[in-house]
Structure 1
Amino acid sequence: MSERIEVETPAGAMPAHLWLPSTGRGPGVLLLQEIFGVSPYIRRRAEDLAALGYVVLAPEVFWRIGISEIANGPSMLEEAMAALGRLDWDAAVADSTLALEALRARPEVANGTGVVGFCFGGGLGYAVVAGAPADALVSFYGSTLPNLVEAVPSVSTPSQHHFGESDSYIPMDQVTRIREQVTSGGAPVDFRTYPGADHAFDNDDFVNHDPVASEQAWSATTDWLTRTLPTG
């Protein structure tokens, strides 16, 4: 079960969702949404992370435009892209950074904090740790990473990246460039690609879901996270 909380920002209170592990305490993970908001899929991944022993905080990054989540359906991608077009990127980075700070300050959080982001959230997480280093970052097909790689020199956070080799939005030449850039900064990097997988391959509510790539990527995520940000 999650608890609805608020993260204070200069523009007001940002809604967020908090999951606790069975122990009640553990390292913190800031979970950053896809363009579909804090959707049922994101909530399931939050539950998965809490089951591993993490305190998970998922802010509603689209709160400034009045959107919590975009319902599954034939128009979900169109609606999500329209919402993304209304978003203030700098405000989203600032809000997510405040959420990371709020997570760190919670009494349930001990022994470090990390960031896990999907699609829009994968790039957003990279931007957050560029300004506010964390102990770990997992980025799934970060859609804004092609425009963010200039931030590499300021990223000292160990990171893991996942990309499909048949991504409709991030072609392999851009994936290759991202790999070259993120692995040149000195911080530890685990970079993985998945043959035949399209964008958003981990989202089992979306048409591009690839069960094989999803299972492989999540297994790699849990293994890397529990080594980089141990819960015990």
Structure 2
Amino acid sequence: MGQKIEIAVPDKSGKMNAYLAAPSGQAKAGIVVIQEILGVNPGIRAMTDSWAAKGYMAAAPDLFWRLKPNVELDADVPAQFQQGLDYMNKFDGDKSIDDIKATIAALRTRGCKKVGVIGYCLGGRLAFLCATRTDSDATAAYYGTGLDGLLGEKSKIRKPLLLHIAKQDKFVPAEAQAKVHAALKGNPLVTIHDYDADHAFARHTGSSRVPALADQADARTAAFFAKHLA
């Protein structure tokens, strides 16, 4: 269903690859799918395809491209997971937001009047920043890491934001989750759902996936985008 495209980035340092999946007819809207630390791997491509199957034009940018293009890793292979952590620690998060802005713009130039963003893990963190730093029309973040350190930007949230939080997240302690809840409580633009699961419970495949909770979260996200990207 999908194809690889190139997107020129704002700092003019080169062109970034992205996986683009288009619906069979006219797109309802656009959705940017932000990778985990594992790159634009088969799971992220499948998620991108699933949004196209729902009628959206979806794109997953290769955010590690400045370090190594076309990274594809498997979280269930320890050495590959460690490599993903290494990429995460080395990549430039601020530049990645600019890369996501370029991806949003690329979808708009392809006829998408509204564009949403969805991200997982590292992508969940970046999705939160998209809600404060980009013109995303609606943003969904799954078990974003380090959100408690980004709450200084909460006043910049201008469009709807959906957060899926894993209560047993081994990368996000309960204290950090409580800070996120307390800081965003009462903001009518923010919806938070908690799940009795560990990190990556909604990953497309692999040992971390919890099918029932993944399906529940994905159904909520689908309803969220259907409402706010219409």
TM-score range for the pair, normalised by the shorter chain length: over 0.9
Instruction: Please tell me the root mean square deviation across aligned C-alpha atoms, in Å.
Output: 1.5
State the Cα distance separating 1:160 from its structure 2 match.
Answer: 0.7
User: The residue matched to 1:26 in structure 2 has which SS?
Assistant: coil
Given that 1:133 and 1:155 are in contact with CA atoms closer than 8 Å, whether structure 2 keeps it comes out as: no
User: The residue matched to 1:75 in structure 2 has which SS?
Assistant: helix
Aligned counterpart, 1:105: 109
Q: What is the number of equivalent residue pairs in this alignment?
A: 226
What is the one-letter code of the residue matched to 1:212? Answer: A
* Separation in 2, partners of 1:127, 1:199: 19
What is the one-letter code of the residue matched to 1:194? Answer: Y
- 1:195-216 deviation line (CA, Å, top 9, x unaligned): 1x00011114333221221111
Aligned counterpart, 1:31: 33
* Separation in 1, partners of 2:35, 2:128: 13
* Separation in 2, partners of 1:16, 1:207: 26
User: The residue matched to 2:24 in structure 1 has which SS?
Assistant: coil
- 1:159-191 deviation line (CA, Å, top 9, x unaligned): 11101111001122211211222345x452211
Indicate the percent of aligned positions where both proteins have the same amino acid: 28
User: The residue matched to 1:63 in structure 2 has which SS?
Assistant: coil
* Separation in 2, partners of 1:115, 1:227: 14
Find out whether 1:83 has 2:87 as its counterpart. yes
What is the one-letter code of the residue matched to 1:94? Answer: D
Aligned counterpart, 1:93: 97
Gaps of 5+ in 2: none
* Separation in 2, partners of 1:137, 1:122: 10
Aligned counterpart, 2:4: 4
Given that 1:70 and 1:80 are in contact with CA atoms closer than 8 Å, whether structure 2 keeps it comes out as: no
Aligned counterpart, 1:16: 18
What TM-score comes out, normalization by structure 1 length? 0.91
* Separation in 2, partners of 1:179, 1:53: 32
* Separation in 2, partners of 1:71, 1:188: 34
Given that 2:47 and 2:204 are in contact with CA atoms closer than 8 Å, whether structure 1 keeps it comes out as: no
Find out whether 1:193 has 2:197 as its counterpart. no
Find out whether 1:43 has 2:14 as its counterpart. no
Aligned counterpart, 2:78: 74
User: The residue matched to 2:193 in structure 1 has which SS?
Assistant: strand
Aligned counterpart, 2:206: 206
Taking structure 1 as reference, are residues 152 and 202 closer, same or farther at Cα in structure 2, changes over 3 Å only?
Answer: same
Aligned counterpart, 1:216: 216
Given that 1:156 and 1:187 are in contact with CA atoms closer than 8 Å, whether structure 2 keeps it comes out as: no
Gaps of 5+ in 1: none
What TM-score comes out, normalization by structure 2 length? 0.92
Find out whether 1:154 has 2:161 as its counterpart. no
Taking structure 1 as reference, are residues 187 and 132 closer, same or farther at Cα in structure 2, changes over 3 Å only?
Answer: farther
User: The residue matched to 2:30 in structure 1 has which SS?
Assistant: strand
What is the one-letter code of the residue matched to 1:227? Answer: K
